[in-house]
Chain A
Amino acid sequence: MKPLLSAHDVTLQYKTREQLVTATQRVSFDVWSSDRFVLLGPSGCGKSTLLKSVAGFIKPAGGSITLKGKPIGEPGADRMMVFQEFDQLLPWKTIRQNIMFPMLACKRYGKKEAAERAQDYIAKVGLSAFADAFPHTLSGGMKQRAAIARAMAMEPDILLMDEPFAALDALTRRKMQEELLRLWDDIRFTMLFVTHSIEEAIIVGSRILVLSAHPGRVRAEINADQFDHQAQGSETFQAVQTRIHNMLFSEPELGGERIQ
């Protein structure tokens, strides 16, 4: 067995008008098939930049990222991305058209097959009643559901999720996390999920890569497969949460404990 996605010593840099910023420094990790792999870290740890480089939007300054053994080049539909922003649904297409669009754009599916698959995934995310509505008439949670359906209908090798629930209210977010886990239980897709919420990482993730900030470096990799919403109050859940919290917030010079 080989990992599905493999990042090796990835250094990412981007230029602002004044300076060259190093987002991540020599970050390595492996994502295996059916992983719910979470990139967790404070803002400035380069987790979103890392996700974008997996998507092919940013070229690494050093190191390599391979998907199924092949280095990642241009953006492509084998890695579908779900964004945080609600405007990721194209406003000029209905929900159904939005979901069919990538399937038709990459010419992998015929029109009829794309329509069937769209119908199927619309039902999976519970949007059947809104299939022919335009995105602006939907709530934020519904838009994100549609975006997830759109990405999943493509059956990508890996689903890239860039804080997809961060712009939602707390109640909707929790509901969406539950639904995502239910979908994963059903389909067992592989996903790379970026978040800055420790709680969300533990609930959604099966494995968590903890990154430190400025520049982003790997701090730890933690298993979290056993936790869901029900486990939230449990002592072991609290322990993991505290452990990650300390990792992210302890400053060595303040004498906070460091976990290797």
Chain B
Amino acid sequence: MSQAQDKAVIWHRDEYEIDIEETAAQQDVSRPLTRWESFSNNTTVRRSSVLIALAIIWEIYATWLNNPLMFPRFSEVTVALVEGYISGPLAIRTWTTLRVLVVGYALGIVLAAVLTSLAVLTRFGTDLLSTLTSMFNPLPAIALLPLSLLWFGLGEASLLFIIVHSVLWAVALNMHSGFLEVSQTQRSVGHNYGLRGVRYVMNILMPAALPSILSGLKIGWAFAWRTLIAAELVFGVSSRSGGLGWYIFENRQQLDTTNVFAGLSAVVLIGLLVESIIFRTIENRTVRRWGMQV
């Protein structure tokens, strides 16, 4: 009994029941957000404020530095950028770059999809893909440029070749690791329905691996940009009109730093637009909507 005395005693309380029908629902179960709440909840608003802050810091620093040759002011660059698009060559330069970029990017993605599908369907495909990616993924695309020029000449074909190279391995690597991460249950579900081969890849693996595929596509897009701008800086004009890289190079030669900044800003702006409009829209309509990504 001495042991039992040491133990705490359960305190006796009366039981109770509440009729839920009669208690009014507590207030504030759900209410619309206040204006400030929905304003600060908006990603676009928050991201834009980062951009505005950066622009202000830039303007203040450049004004204080007062050396337009080294670091022109934000307002000057903005004017140069707008003028470049309205009356200058920026629009045609951007178009040249984007056209090559999109074609190369698309080619790279298609090749990556073919290679990875082969890799998940056959053992030979797996060996092929893993060997090729470990060989070529670390190889900088720009290092292939001299060879590419030799093979395809001074023109778009050379650029396409190195863009495909820069996109292909990054996308394939991500796509393949995405395929490998698809849950066993979902694979079994696909097999259970009698899905085989390409139908299995298209109907089960591709959508199930979409988060990884999208991140691969983003990396591939960035790689394609870098490669293309770098290539244009190196060998400049292709056929009749050069691209954005050439524009930057040309203006540096003429010590027109404001236009160099305008060219760089164009690259940055396109990157921002693609990321925040195209990729974000795709994510919102797919992986986020499906609850596969927060």
Confirm or deny: B194 has a beta carbon within 8 angstroms of a beta carbon on chain A: yes
- Contact with B290, one of A57, A101, A102, A134 (Cβ below 8 angstroms): A134
B194 with A80: CB separation less than 8 A: no
User: 1/0 per residue A12-53: CB within 8 Å of B?
Assistant: 000000000000000000000000000000000000000000
Give the chain B neighbours of A55 by CB distance below 8 A: 188, 192
Alpha-carbon separation in the docked complex, A77 to B290 (Å) = 25
**Contact B292 A75, beta carbon cutoff 8 Å:** no
Determine the chain A residues whose CB is within 8 A of the CB of B191 once the complex forms: 56-57, 75
Chain A residues 78-124 with CB under 8 Å of chain B are 79-81, 83, 85, 87-88, 90-92, 101-102, 105-106
Tell me if B266 counts as interface (CB < 8 A to partner A): no
Instruction: Judge whether B203 is part of the interface by a CB distance below 8 angstroms.
Output: yes
CB distance from A58 to the nearest CB of B (A): 11
Answer yes or no: B286 CB below 8 A from chain A CBs. Answer: yes
Contact A88 B290 (CB under 8 A): no
User: Would you list which residues of chain A between 52 and 86 have a CB under 8 Å from chain B?
Assistant: 55-57, 74-77, 79-81, 83, 85
Q: What residues of B have a CB within 8 angstroms of the CB of A136 in the complex?
A: 290-292
Check: B207 CB closer than 8 A to any chain A CB. Answer: yes
Q: Which residue of A lies closest to B286 (CB)?
A: A92
A135 in contact with B194 (CB, 8 Å): no
Would B208 and A75 count as touching, CB distance under 8 A?
A: no
Give Cα distance in the complex from A92 to B199, angstroms: 16
| Cβ of A137 under 8 Å from chain B | yes
Whether B291 lies near A134 (C-beta < 8 A) is yes
Closest chain B CB from A31 CB (angstroms):
18
Bound CA span A253–B193, Å: 47
Which chain B residue lies CB-closest to A147? B189
Q: How long is the Cα–Cα vector from A204 to B207 in the complex, in angstroms?
A: 35
Judged by a CB distance under 8 angstroms, whether B239 is at the interface is no
Cα A202 to Cα B183 with chains together (Å): 32
Q: Is B210 an interface residue (CB 8 A)?
A: yes
A129-153 interface mask toward B, CB cutoff 8 Å, 1 = contact, 0 = none? 0000011110000000000000000
Interface size on A, residues (CB 8 A): 25
The answer to whether B185 and A75 have CB atoms under 8 Å apart is: no
Chain A nearest Cβ from B211, distance in angstroms: 10
The 8 Å CB contact of A91, one of B194, B203, B291, is B291
User: B179 → chain A, closest Cβ, in Å?
Assistant: 15
B195 within 8 A of A: yes
Contact A80/B192 with A134-B290, A136-B291 known, Cβ cut-off 8 Å: yes
Asked whether A90 and B194 contact (CB < 8 A) given A85-B183, A85-B185, the answer is no
**Is there an interface contact between B194 and A88, defined as CB atoms closer than 8 Å?**
no
Among A81, A105, A135, the residue within 8 A (CB) of B203 is A105
Partner of B193, one of A57, A101, A135: A101
Contact B192 A75, beta carbon cutoff 8 Å: yes
How many interface residues does chain B have, given as a range?
A: 20 to 34
Contact of A83 among B188, B203, B286 (CB under 8 A): B188
Please state if B292 and A91 are interface contacts (CB–CB under 8 Å): yes
Q: B183–A91 contact, CB under 8 A?
A: no
- Annotate B183-209 by CB proximity to A: 1 below 8 A, 0 otherwise: 101101101111100010001100110
Q: Does B99 reach chain A (CB closer than 8 Å)?
A: no
B195 to chain A: which residues have CB within 8 Å? 105
Q: Which residues of chain B have C-beta atoms less than 8 A from A137's C-beta?
A: 291
* Complexed CA–CA distance, A135 and B96 (Å): 44
Chain B residues whose CB sits within 8 angstroms of the CB of A75 once the complex forms: 188, 191-192, 194
Whether B194 pairs with A76 at a CB distance below 8 angstroms is yes
- Cα A106 to Cα B190 with chains together (Å): 11
Report yes or no: A87 in contact with B203, Cβ–Cβ below 8 A: no
* Contact residues in B for A85 (Cβ distance below 8 Å): 183, 185
Interchain CA distance A76-B199 in the complex, whole Å? 14
B194–chain A nearest beta-carbon distance, Å: 5
Tell yes or no: B280 within 8 A of A by CB: no
Cβ-defined contact, A92 with B207, below 8 A: yes
Q: Determine the residue in chain B with the shortest Cβ distance to A105.
A: B193
List 12 A-B residue pairs with CB atoms under 8 Å apart, sorted by A's residue number: A57-B191, A77-B192, A77-B194, A81-B192, A83-B189, A85-B183, A87-B186, A88-B185, A88-B189, A134-B290, A136-B291, A137-B291
- With contacts A57-B191, A77-B194 known, what are 4 further pairs, Cβ within 8 A? A79-B192, A101-B193, A106-B194, A134-B290
Measured CB to CB, the residues of A under 8 A from B are 55-57, 74-77, 79-81, 83, 85, 87-88, 90-92, 101-102, 105-106, 134-137
